[in-house]
Structure 1
Amino acid sequence: MAETVSSNIHVDYVSLKDNARAHIGNVVHVHQAEDRCLPDLRNTDPRDDKARIEAIKGGLLEDSYRWILQHGDFQQWLNDKHSRLLWIRGDPGKGKTMLLCGIVNELNKTNAQLSYFFCQASDERINSATAVLRGLVYLIVNQQPSLLSHVQERYKHVGDALFKDVNAWSALSEIFLNILKDMDTSLQQTYIAIDALDECVTDLPKLLDFIAIKSAVFSHVKWIVSSRNWPDIQEHLAITQKTSLCLELNEDSISAAVSTYIKHRVEWLAQKKRYSETTKDAVRQHLSSNSNDTFLWVALVCQNLEKTSLKNTIQQLDEFPPGLDSLYKRMMQQIHNLEDASHVKFCCQILATVLHVYRPITIAELGLLIKCSDAELVHKAIGFCGSFLAVRDSQVYIIHQSAKDYLSGKAASTLLPSHAEINGLIFSQSVQAMFATLRRNIYNLHSPSLPTNEIKAPDPDPLQVIRYSCIYWLDHFCDIYAQDGQSQSQDLIDDKECQMVLLFFRKYFLYWLEALGLIGHVEDIVLSIIRLVNLLKGNLSDQESPDCRMQLLELTQDSQRFIWRNSSLIANNPLQVYTSALIFSPLKSITRRLFQEEEPQWLEITPTVEYNWSPYLQTLRGHSHWVRAVAFSPDGRYIASGSQDRTVKIWDVATGTEKQSFTGHFLGVWSVAFSADGCHVASGSYDETITIWDLRGKEQLTLKGHSNIITSVAFSLDGRYLASGSHDETIRIWDTATGKEQRTLEIGTEVRTISFDATASYLYTEIGLMKLDMEHANYKFVGYGLSTDKCWITWNGQNILWLPPDYQPSSGSAICGYGPHNLTLPEGSSADVEIALLNDSGRVTMIRMPRSEPHPLV
């Protein structure tokens, strides 16, 4: 969109590209098509995360990290051009994050380009591989705006979906690599730092493989990462040359750093609490003797001492045992020792709520979920929670991942409200809040067609406090009936809770979708609806008359279809949920009938639509050319598609969203197939190559050998072999581990369908069953089949029945029934074999043949 100030100056022609600005006479023309690119890219600013982490941890002490700057491993990584990856690893509380903060500060003093990211498991904004790349890219282009063009090139076609949809990892990894390539080409030294890899909850293997592979690519890009001592991380990073700095193996340096930290914190406490020298020495001695060289332990004890009266300080020291778990246990005991039992319950409720939410919540959101509208009281209660929680910018955080591990493990079963109880409370409070808040056109927009990128939330925003509830209430409802937060329970859904959900869908469903559209989360709710449907299916009552669960199931299934069809529309134009989304829904749609009065009154004649939902569930859109091949994964959860646009895409069947996109073929893709474990997809192309794609993010394997279009591909059941058919009239067998060709079978005709039997001893094709001899590259047809010219039905490769031209198959045939080598049928069975022949006219001819060897001359 271009914004132009009117002028009388005559201009024959002007062209603006990207964010260009043209000054013509007294007129300024500004091209604003990409103005939203950088703000939309920003999911978080790593600089703000770093500042927040340092503040929560009491500030960054330079003397506590300076030792690592002189360490030989760090110096080697810094100065050796061949050393490009440094992995700092250590147990919880050893100060890894603060080390990274200090290293970032030091690297910032150089002239090099620096980008960094801090993962945090409890915050879904910053706990995924995609979020890491998004943050790294944001920080780089924010500092070097010229590099934003790499993002804009993709952004201008799809907008912020580039960063949010399930294909964001693929897009961002490509963008990030292009940026690194640019900086590497310009010989600019670049540092990439990622803290707490172990707190990357989503797609960690992808991120690890990306780091391991790409850290070896660019000579002027150095990587530094930190994590706990996890074997999985070690395994993934083992494929590349790296320097590993283990904190446990640097005991003297860590001990000296902790001592410096203790000295600093004690001096601060002594000044604030007016310690005498005796008290000061006692505190220092206790911390030094019991810290086990753990920064976090020292920080937590000092936080507790800050709240302890001066006269009780020395006595209180004995209440802080060594070891994080022991300290956490003591902190929980302090909560349970509060004089007022209601305060104990309130604090435990707060801890359990913060533990179970899907992202950090604000004090206002916390107050809503625990049914307390007094923000000051909530803030005060957080202070009684034994230093488990911290507040920064009105958001509530668990102080450390190890604290979360303790609360969800040892404390969960005995000290905190149960999993079902706390999720039930979050669910009910969320629904009640939405009942009280949601309504049609909640932002009082002036037009039903107003797009989301032009909508500004009013001040105050009526959705601000219920934002978390709108997004996650259904997940918490389902969590009530999940055992240990994981597997689904067989307990029947409570009638009262079922009625509450049913009422919500009957009265507030459209208002909820509008709100989700306004806050940018309507497409995310599809998985929550599917989860609810699956829960209800397992909870149906044996009663003959439909109960609440059956009614809710029917309604949510209809709602699921409604969202599938309209999610993109509502995401872009939220108020269209009451117009286009309703009037183009089927007449028998339960949702349409329930909200009939919401349909636009200004329409005199409504469009003619289908009576019921059509059989097709969804249309998957994303390819830019016609689609040649599709295949379901073995578990039915995913679809692979190959297109003339030269890409292979992986789709989530449940949501219809694109999960991954693979590029690499030079011409269109003709065939695709999943491996039996669902981890690999093979694609055959017009470019005469086959590519095996690893869906876990590892490198692909390209197979070359055919001399024409690849028409079919298939994995053996054990995944060791891949068979391919081609227009070059051969079938080739490949080793999937090495990519080497094992056998070439000269067939004499193209083969368009191919599959292995369970033992990889036979190949099923449209012209018959082939018995393989892997050792000698031989094969023979067994049982019934078709001749290569498709004029004859064959037995063991010998012609036995000629087919007149009108009956000769043009698109192959399917041999149905029981063949002689079907292992599921007893050898003595006399079941016949049926052969189906498909003709150009569309006619299908069925021929039944005896299972035993035919005798055509008899």
Structure 2
Amino acid sequence: MTNHQPVNISNNRGRVGQQAGKIYVSGDNIIHTTSAQDTLSQLPHAADAPFNSYAKQHEPACLRDTRVDLLREIHSWADGEDERCIFWLSGLAGTGKSTIARTVARSYYDRQRLAASFFFSRGGGDIGHAGRFVTSLAVQLARNVPALRQRISDAVVGRNDIASQSLRDQWHDLVLGPLSKLSAHDCPASLVLVVDALDECDSDSNIRIIVQLLAEARTLTKARLRVLLTSRRDVPIRHGFYQVPEAEHQDVVLHNISRSIVDHDIALFLQHKLQLIARECCLDAGWPGVDIVTQLAQSASGLFIWAATACRFIREGKRFAAKRLDAILCNSGAIPTAPEQHLNKIYMTVLQNSIHLEHTDEEKKEQCETIRCILGSIGVLFSPLSVQSLDQLLDVTGGIEPILEDLHAILDIPNDQNRPLRLHHPSFRDFLLKRDRCGDEFWVNEKQAHSALAHRCVQLMSRSLKQDVCGVGAPGALVAEMDVTQLERCLLPELQYACLYWIQHLAKSDARLCDGGQEHEFLKEHCLQWLEALGWMGKVCEGIHAISSLESITLASECPSLNAFAHDMKRFAVYNRSPIELAPLQVYYSAIVFAPMKSILKRQFAEPLPYFIKRLPEVDDNWSTCLQTLEGHSSYVTSVAFSHDSAQLVSASLDSTVKIWDTVSGACLQTLKDHSGNVHSVTFSHDSTQLASASFDRTVKIWDVSSGACLQTLKGHTSEVNSVAFSPDSTRLVSAAADKTIKIWSAGGNACLQTLEGHSSGVNSVVFSPDSTQLASASSDRTVKIWDISSGACLQTLKGHSSEVNSVAFSPDSTRLVSAAADKTIKIWSAGGDAYLQTLEGHSSYVTSVVFSHDSTQLVSASSDTTVKIWDIVSGACLQTLKGHNGSLTSVAFSHNSIWLASASWDNTVKIWDASSSMRLETFKGHSSDVKSVAFSHDLTRLASASSDNTIKIWDTGSCECLQTFEGHGVWVYLVVFSHDSTRLVSSSYVDNVKIWDTISGTCLQTIVGHIMSVGCSHDSVLLALASFGGTFEIWDASGGSRLQALKSHSSTVHFATFSHDSTRLASVSSRNIVEIWDVSSGACLQTLEGYSSDVHLVAFSQNSTRLASASFNRTVKIWNTSSGACLQTLDNVKSNVPFHPPIFKGITLSMESPLTRADLIAILASLQSDETETSLQKPICQGISISTDGAWVTVNDQRLLWLPLVYRPICSEVSAALHLASDRHTVLLFAEYAVRERQVRRDTVGHGSSGQIGRAHRYRQAKAGKDRC
């Protein structure tokens, strides 16, 4: 995309990368780079930001002999020894700030001392916000200061996601850090950084951050950085400077400079411009004369923008230039007193002149309306568009170019129609949108302008969006792999703009939305296509915020259908944010397939089914109470808290970081890294501008939320700090530690005001009362104490828990106190501690956290039993139990708007729950505990599942109904295998017995005692092979009869045995990496195959039984001749078709690297010709339906097909023409015939024993590691 486009397609989400060239990207990471220039050229930056960018090449600098004193003062400051690192040049709109900034930037650029420049422009795309501010400075620094190039490049490679990090992290890593490493030799003189029109940045909070970051230039000791900052004197900038000592910045206010000096400079400017106009228009050399120039300078009233606009207006008149000058003088006859009135008159003169006098009154009226439409659109656009793009968006009869011809005085209209169209000065926007300044003739009603643009955006999207808008074809096509030029060609700038901003325009309009209206009909037809487009643009998070805004402006009482659609669309987009960002076409596939049955979007778009799915899986009826799962921490999440405006969520982790999340979209906004140990607790201040964190490193840190800056580090505790809280009046901070003390700190400084002692063991939790007069603390000494803040006295000691107390909280109405303990109970006390009210029981393990709802009617608890419970305060009843985490819960929080709950867990995630929902989570009617193994019947009509609830269930794969439940095992069942005729089922339990079942009657035909490692079934369904410890394995009659053979291996343990297809031979795998081939009839060992350096875990016969393939855990495959025992081929590092998912032990995560499966070996053997001997064998490509190694994708022939949500990812899987995923729910997907045909693997070689072999591999690895439990 060229640099004029308004919306940047970001296909790397802030990561550095490119489609082709010297940088290779794998996922989100740079794998290889060959030069600093290559790396820096890929760093996202705003091309229009520098003073000398192509877009600014016609912008003026100060004329010679103008602004002399001011420029001398700036140069003296920049070149001298002044300790003040910032020069703040402020003034009213139009006083010439940007012209001065360009002049200074040019001066130091020519002297090779310009560090960088960034010229903000409201509504200017990348230069209208701070997202590309620091990266743009870094790119220029590397170009302008050669000594910095490699250092900045190294910083980018060292943190390849830097462009998506906080402004502060970017500033430190890309600017301040590299500058701090410069030597005096590298940079003998000061460097100058120019930041213009900071008030034009679209975020007040970012404006304050930038001021604070720029002030950090004072910390540089070797290199010296001077910052020239220009802006209006708006409140956000003044607030930013409040935190910068006055001694560190110099201020000059332009409109306070002597009027005579300013008028002199304006007169010089006018004289210069008018002389040029006189030559162009063949006017007299002395035209218009000194007196006229003086009159014009006085009319400018100190505003350079007036003079510039007047000159442009006169020049565009060409042969009528003199008449245009007369018009200006005529309108300036009665001189008003306020500069703004002078500006109003010059703008009105330009607009009135654009209405042709020869037109009729009707035509003049129509032209006025067209001008209002065009200028109003330009004035309220959120990002600039080119003439061509604006023309396509507005769809004005006759086009917009003829109208623009007469507006060059106020519009910057580039010759290149693909360059953005801009206002010459933001003051024109202010003029246009205020009725008292421009009158009824040209006044633009801002709300109506937004409404009209929203309407045009919807029209454009309706005719331009379509499924697979970029024509990629493949359902699993990734954004990161897409050719950028293809995206630009298919998503034109005007369409990007419409997709990104249509709801924002609606929100700012006066449009009344209704059911069946334009917006509703658009969503019913194009909702998924819109989300797909946002995915390709890298703007899904922005889309989620837009949907949330749409829901808020559609009243359920006025437009219930549209409101319900918006709500469902928000749930849909939030739940599917990751796959849409990753592979946008999954919005039609995974997102619809796994959406709840009653989802409005599912009902709207489920037909037709995705072409590769025969039947949709069973899913919940409604959206889960869990709204989002936030992933990103690399270790246990220990604490979670909402900001008081509920817009953000903060989490703390044992990975030593604090993360700030966007509550609506789930995007990670910042990662704060400064603690040197585990972070145990985190909380927001009550104004949401700061947060505090407590750590194992014995410190408490206070952070600025906007910038991510660590403002203070509080030291004083002698052991790990467990808890931290701000007082509601924001004046104090309290911390509790394992050193048995509580410390009260001044929130504005690092002074410790008090240390409270009295607990006899570590203090785990501390909280302020709502009126900030008391504290409550919970301790491992089994007590809760209430303290008086003023005196530090302990007012009450509450006893009743029989184990350590983990959490304590006051109710917001100040009437109650609640405590949660390791004794599995929650106790409610009167707030004064003088009465014990009730005990809540229901958790089956430690209660780790408790908090009240903000209306004080409910409380929420989190437990190491992995659940969150919601309780009624009055009755003590448990209203709801929320399940979903896979590890102990550590913290729970209620949002202050009472909409959300957040929970933190040892599973490294944070979950956000819908606190306003009255839904209860539905329980799947099946197994009551983990599913350990699954197997399809040969005809794919049935599925068997084995569980740790001691049962086996047989399911109908068509209806997902449970057909039979087999009971008889007294302990966990970890293995099930169907016979090939599906009439028998073999199951093995955790301890020492195997059962053979009749699948028709459900009766147990035989119970075989022994510790069985593996079960194999002959292809004629007559024989069973049972492998066990002790080096023996047995051949049994599958009908439930007697043992036919008892074979003794050369090794102590046989892990696996399988029959040849003609049932005459048997292959076994033993613990010494030995494979043996046996004669079934005689029991004789025919061959012993050796040569593996890693554990062999699997073997498979070829269809004609002449070849045997064996696989080891290091993914080596050997092909053997079954008659001679010769090794025909060795294949190294063969890719797996099905992932290996080991169990997770408490605190231990085993390797996720995948061993090969039976289906893999069969695919390899199928590629062998019957007459092949020892010829070279190519590495096979994975064929058929499978699961990717990370468990996130269903693939066909190694191509991504269907993305699996986290909750559906398999613990174990059975792969065939159907796919069964055994996770925390049971899901069956049936695939269309094309997938089966493309597999190129015989159906009769799959579906037998696969899941059992995966289970055996699990258990074998655990046995080898000395871990006996599953």
**TM-score when normalising by structure 1:** 0.82
**What displacement does 1:427 show?**
1.5
Farther-moved stretch of structure 1 (551-560 vs 315-324): 315-324
**What displacement does 1:637 show?**
2.3
* Residue identity matched to 1:810: A
Counterparts of 1:235 and 1:505, CA distance in 2: 42
**What displacement does 1:108 show?**
1.3
1:19 maps to 2:33: yes
The aligned residue for residue 797 of structure 1 is: none
* Residue identity matched to 1:19: T
- Match of 1:706, SS state, is coil
Taking the TM superposition and a 5 Å limit, the aligned residue runs for 1:153-164 are: 162-164=162-164
Taking the TM superposition and a 5 Å limit, the aligned residue runs for 1:148-187 are: 162-164=162-164, 167=166, 170-183=169-182, 187=186
How far does the alpha carbon of each residue in 1:50-76 deviate from its partner, in whole angstroms, 9 at most, with x for none?
Answer: 443351x4x435416572586245313
Q: Is 2:134–2:170's contact at 8 Å kept on the other side of the alignment?
A: no
The aligned residue for residue 529 of structure 2 is: 511
2:693 to 683, 700, 711: 683
The aligned residue for residue 451 of structure 2 is: 424
1:713 to 714, 724, 736: 724
The aligned residue for residue 781 of structure 1 is: 796
Farther-moved stretch of structure 1 (662-671 vs 102-111): 102-111
2:557 to 540, 551, 563: 540
Q: Is 1:94–1:293's contact at 8 Å kept on the other side of the alignment?
A: yes
Cα separation, partners in 2 of 1:146 and 1:534, compared to 1, 3 Å: farther
Cα separation, partners in 2 of 1:355 and 1:840, compared to 1, 3 Å: same
The aligned residue for residue 76 of structure 1 is: 77
Q: Is 1:712–1:753's contact at 8 Å kept on the other side of the alignment?
A: yes
Q: Is 1:45–1:138's contact at 8 Å kept on the other side of the alignment?
A: no
Cα separation, partners in 2 of 1:293 and 1:300, compared to 1, 3 Å: same
- Match of 2:400, SS state, is helix
Taking the TM superposition and a 5 Å limit, the aligned residue runs for 1:490-509 are: 493-494=513-514, 499-509=517-527
Cα separation, partners in 2 of 1:2 and 1:467, compared to 1, 3 Å: closer
Cα separation, partners in 2 of 1:439 and 1:73, compared to 1, 3 Å: closer
How far does the alpha carbon of each residue in 1:467-510 deviate from its partner, in whole angstroms, 9 at most, with x for none?
Answer: 2111111111222248xxxxxxxxx5345xx5222222221112
- Match of 2:83, SS state, is coil
Cα separation, partners in 2 of 1:190 and 1:615, compared to 1, 3 Å: same
The aligned residue for residue 221 of structure 1 is: 225
The aligned residue for residue 271 of structure 1 is: 279
1:736 maps to 2:747: yes
- Match of 2:694, SS state, is strand
The aligned residue for residue 13 of structure 1 is: none
1:589 maps to 2:599: yes
- Match of 2:628, SS state, is coil
Cα separation, partners in 2 of 1:635 and 1:284, compared to 1, 3 Å: closer
Counterparts of 1:449 and 1:835, CA distance in 2: 52
Cα separation, partners in 2 of 1:36 and 1:598, compared to 1, 3 Å: farther
The aligned residue for residue 126 of structure 1 is: 127
Taking the TM superposition and a 5 Å limit, the aligned residue runs for 1:199-348 are: 199-202=200-203, 203-218=206-221, 219-230=223-234, 233-234=237-238, 236-237=240-241, 238-239=244-245, 240-251=247-258, 253-276=261-284, 279-281=287-289, 283-308=292-317, 309-310=320-321, 312-313=323-324, 315-321=326-332, 323-332=339-348, 335=351, 338=355, 339=357, 340-348=364-372
- Match of 1:176, SS state, is helix
**What displacement does 1:250 show?**
4.2
Q: Which has the higher strand share?
A: 2
Cα separation, partners in 2 of 1:68 and 1:356, compared to 1, 3 Å: same
Counterparts of 2:754 and 2:235, CA distance in 1: 38
**What displacement does 1:193 show?**
1.2
1:525 to 516, 522, 543: 543
Q: Is 1:331–1:386's contact at 8 Å kept on the other side of the alignment?
A: no
1:751 maps to 2:763: yes
Farther-moved stretch of structure 1 (665-674 vs 558-567): 558-567
Structure 1 unaligned blocks of 5 or more: 6-15, 22-31, 483-491, 542-548, 792-806, 823-830, 850-858
Taking the TM superposition and a 5 Å limit, the aligned residue runs for 1:83-98 are: 83-98=84-99
* Residue identity matched to 2:528: L
Taking the TM superposition and a 5 Å limit, the aligned residue runs for 1:398-437 are: 398-409=423-434, 410-411=436-437, 414=440, 415-437=442-464
How far does the alpha carbon of each residue in 1:661-707 deviate from its partner, in whole angstroms, 9 at most, with x for none?
Answer: 22211001001122222222111101111111122436511111111
Q: Is 1:86–1:223's contact at 8 Å kept on the other side of the alignment?
A: yes
Q: Is 1:811–1:838's contact at 8 Å kept on the other side of the alignment?
A: no
Counterparts of 1:425 and 1:363, CA distance in 2: 18
Q: Over alpha carbons, which structure has the higher Rg?
A: 2
Cα separation, partners in 2 of 1:646 and 1:153, compared to 1, 3 Å: farther
Q: Is 2:384–2:421's contact at 8 Å kept on the other side of the alignment?
A: yes
Farther-moved stretch of structure 1 (142-151 vs 598-607): 142-151
* Residue identity matched to 1:301: A
Counterparts of 2:840 and 2:293, CA distance in 1: 87
Cα separation, partners in 2 of 1:821 and 1:198, compared to 1, 3 Å: same
1:613 maps to 2:623: yes
The aligned residue for residue 444 of structure 1 is: 471
Q: Is 2:702–2:710's contact at 8 Å kept on the other side of the alignment?
A: no
Q: Is 1:367–1:378's contact at 8 Å kept on the other side of the alignment?
A: yes
* Residue identity matched to 1:348: R
1:471 to 493, 500, 504: 500
**What displacement does 1:530 show?**
0.3
The aligned residue for residue 489 of structure 1 is: none
How far does the alpha carbon of each residue in 1:249-282 deviate from its partner, in whole angstroms, 9 at most, with x for none?
Answer: 5436544432321221011111112223564216
Counterparts of 1:786 and 1:133, CA distance in 2: 56
1:353 maps to 2:363: no
- Match of 1:618, SS state, is strand
Q: Which has the higher helix share?
A: 1
Q: Is 1:325–1:406's contact at 8 Å kept on the other side of the alignment?
A: no
Q: Is 2:723–2:736's contact at 8 Å kept on the other side of the alignment?
A: yes
Counterparts of 1:151 and 1:618, CA distance in 2: 36
Cα separation, partners in 2 of 1:78 and 1:707, compared to 1, 3 Å: same
Q: Is 1:762–1:769's contact at 8 Å kept on the other side of the alignment?
A: no
The aligned residue for residue 635 of structure 1 is: 645
The aligned residue for residue 958 of structure 2 is: none
Q: Is 1:297–1:324's contact at 8 Å kept on the other side of the alignment?
A: no
Q: Is 1:629–1:642's contact at 8 Å kept on the other side of the alignment?
A: yes
Q: Is 2:313–2:350's contact at 8 Å kept on the other side of the alignment?
A: no
- Match of 2:623, SS state, is coil
The aligned residue for residue 770 of structure 1 is: 786
Counterparts of 1:779 and 1:530, CA distance in 2: 47
How far does the alpha carbon of each residue in 1:546-602 deviate from its partner, in whole angstroms, 9 at most, with x for none?
Answer: xxx211222222211221122332233222322233323333332223222354212
* Residue identity matched to 2:737: S
Structure 2 unaligned blocks of 5 or more: 1-16, 22-29, 358-363, 806-818, 848-860, 862-870, 875-1270
Give aligned-pair identity as a percent.
22
Q: Is 1:493–1:539's contact at 8 Å kept on the other side of the alignment?
A: no
Farther-moved stretch of structure 1 (581-590 vs 101-110): 581-590
Counterparts of 1:233 and 1:531, CA distance in 2: 28
How far does the alpha carbon of each residue in 1:185-223 deviate from its partner, in whole angstroms, 9 at most, with x for none?
Answer: 764243211111222231111111111233443442222
Q: Is 2:306–2:342's contact at 8 Å kept on the other side of the alignment?
A: no
* Residue identity matched to 1:468: Y
2:44 to 32, 41, 46: 41
Counterparts of 2:252 and 2:374, CA distance in 1: 38
* Residue identity matched to 1:709: E
* Residue identity matched to 1:94: T
